[in-house]
Amino acid sequence: MPVMTLQIGAEPEIRLPVRPGETIDAAFTRAGYARRRKGCRRGGCGQCLITVLHGSVTDDRPVAVTVLPPAQRAVGGALACRAVPQGDVVVRADAGSIRCVSPLQKELALRELARITTTTVQEGS
Amino acid sequence: MSVMRLGYVHVRVTDLDDASRHYEKTLGLQAMGQQGPCRYFKGWDEFDHHSVVIEEGGVGLVKLGMKVSSSDDLARFEANLARFGVTTERMAAGESHKVGEGLRVFLPTGQTLELYTDMEYVGNELGTFNPHAVIRDPRGLTVPRLDHMLIAGEDPALTERMFTECLDFHVSERLITDIESNDLVATWLFAGQTSHDIALIKGEQGKLHHFAFWLEDWQSILRAGDVFAYDDTPVDYGPTRHGITRGTTVYFFDPAGNRNEVFTGSYRCYADTPTITWTMDTFPRALSALQREVNESFLTVFT
């Protein structure tokens, strides 16, 4: 299971598990995080723009080039509502654009992360 | 009243099949076939060939159509628009699929409006001879018809004047900045007897805010929310009631991110109905009479 490292502004980065096929949006929403501006959640408004610093993502559905121009993609731009991590990713979001709204969900996601990390280590040993 | 209604809305979508599923299965429109890159849909209580056109590739508005009662009205509108200084061009029958000849108007706010007098008649799903009252099998929201739309542009006041001075529209409600400067933020215009066939809001040129479908009652608006949960349709806000128009509503997005609405209630308008004015300091209540707050996407998401 891929791990997403999320950097929100200058906050300490957080690592969250991404289930197969989950978008970045779906993964952090499941972990109790919410975007300040939820936007259309269908790739039409560009409000969920984030930067993928490491790793790669693919869009689960087509995204209009007017919303995410190739030049923006080339520098790591991606729409969180459409981008599905292909393996581990490091993702950067603007300060205050995403925040934790459900601490218990975050706790559960972190437990899931601990489980998969342990499994990976055992498989590796 | 010579503009009879908002006849059609033509939008771009990123994926035709996804969008078709939304408009056909979630909203319950009737699929009316495909022509080139476009698919056509109508509500069960609409008589003309289509009211929604989706075109593959991108997102946002291609154009809108309004049906006019006669070619005399069309000629009068053409003269009015020329005097006003708005660019128009004649369109031949068939240039827009199933639509007769008409007049293409390039709105000051940047959108393309097609005025036409004829579209292929197909009839509603009940017929006009000893009809039943409703369709037998509901599908999704079972929306009967397209109702209105809201578009954005830099000078809504100029486009408002165009609609009232050239096309015989009336203004039901206006949102201004404040009494002193009286700058127009948004306006609701009607040609029929509903509170608005089209509304205009200050914003980026040529943009679409939403297009709305009529529903029968408040209970149907709540049910719409239930159906959106089943179909994973993202909801912008609602169900709630607007202060402006007094309509009850849910806003949601199609699979490309174009905003839709289902709407009901509101009030009847006549040519002599006085215009309601709102100032921007009361906008939270004007937008949402119950919550009295502006959600973060309503004024920031356009396609």
* The pLDDT of residue A123: 57
* The pLDDT of residue A117: 83
* The pLDDT of residue A121: 63
- Cis amide prior to B239 (ω within 30 degrees): yes
Identify the CA nearest to A62 among candidates A38, A82, A47.
Answer: A82
B107, B58 in Cβ contact below 8 A? Answer: no
Q: Does domain A3-124 fall into CATH 3.30.70.1290?
A: no
Residues of A with CB under 8 A from a CB of B: 36-45, 47, 61-67
Q: How many A-B residue pairs are in contact by the CB < 8 A criterion? A: 70
**A44–B15: do the CB atoms touch at under 8 Å?**
no
Q: Can you give the pTM of this predicted structure? A: 0.93
User: Residue B241, Cβ neighbours under 10 Å: how many?
Assistant: 18
Q: How far is Cα B227 from Cα B112, in angstroms, rounded to an integer? A: 32
For residue A122, pLDDT beyond 80:
no
- Looking at the fold, whether B51 and B11 belong to one and the same domain comes out as yes
- Looking at the fold, whether B219 and B271 belong to one and the same domain comes out as yes
Q: Taking every pair of C-alpha atoms in chain B, what is the biggest distance, in angstroms?
A: 57
- Looking at the fold, whether B173 and B278 belong to one and the same domain comes out as yes
Taking residues A9-38, what's their average pLDDT? 95
The predicted-structure confidence for B215-261, as pLDDT tens digits, reads as follows 999 999 999 999 999 999 999 999 999 999 999 999 999 999 999 99
The predicted-structure confidence for A59-112, as pLDDT tens digits, reads as follows 999 999 999 999 999 999 999 999 999 999 999 999 999 999 999 999 999 999
Q: How far is Cα B31 from Cα B47, in angstroms, rounded to an integer? A: 14
- Looking at the fold, whether B96 and B173 belong to one and the same domain comes out as no
**B58–A61: do the CB atoms touch at under 8 Å?**
no
Q: Domain locations in chain A?
A: 3-124
What are the residues facing A77 on neighbouring strands?
A51
Task: Determine the structural domain holding residue B48 and report its residue range.
Answer: 3-116
Q: How far is the CA of B259 from the CAs of A23, B37, B66, B96, B151, in angstroms?
A: 21, 21, 20, 23, 11
> CATH code at B53?
3.10.180.10
If one counts the domains in chain B, the total is 2
Q: How many helices (H) and strands (E) does chain B have?
A: 5, 17
Dihedral angle, C-alpha A24, A56, A92, B204, nearest 10 °:
-70
**A66–B254: do the CB atoms touch at under 8 Å?**
no
Q: Is B126 part of any domain?
A: no
Q: How far is Cα B247 from Cα B150, in angstroms, rounded to an integer? A: 14
Q: What does the buried/exposed string (b/e) look like for B210-238 if buried means 16 or more CB atoms within 10 Å of the residue's CB?
A: bbbbbbeeeebbebbeebbeebebbbbbb
Identify the CA nearest to B126 among candidates B145, B147, B141.
Answer: B145
For residue B3, pLDDT beyond 80:
yes
**β pairing state of A77-79 and A49-59:** antiparallel
- Looking at the fold, whether B111 and B149 belong to one and the same domain comes out as no
- Looking at the fold, whether B150 and B87 belong to one and the same domain comes out as no
Taking residues B123-144, what's their average pLDDT? 96
The predicted-structure confidence for B184-206, as pLDDT tens digits, reads as follows 999 999 999 999 999 999 999 99
Distance from CA of B15 to the nearest CA of A (A): 7
* The pLDDT of residue A125: 47
Percent of chain B scoring above 90 in pLDDT: 96
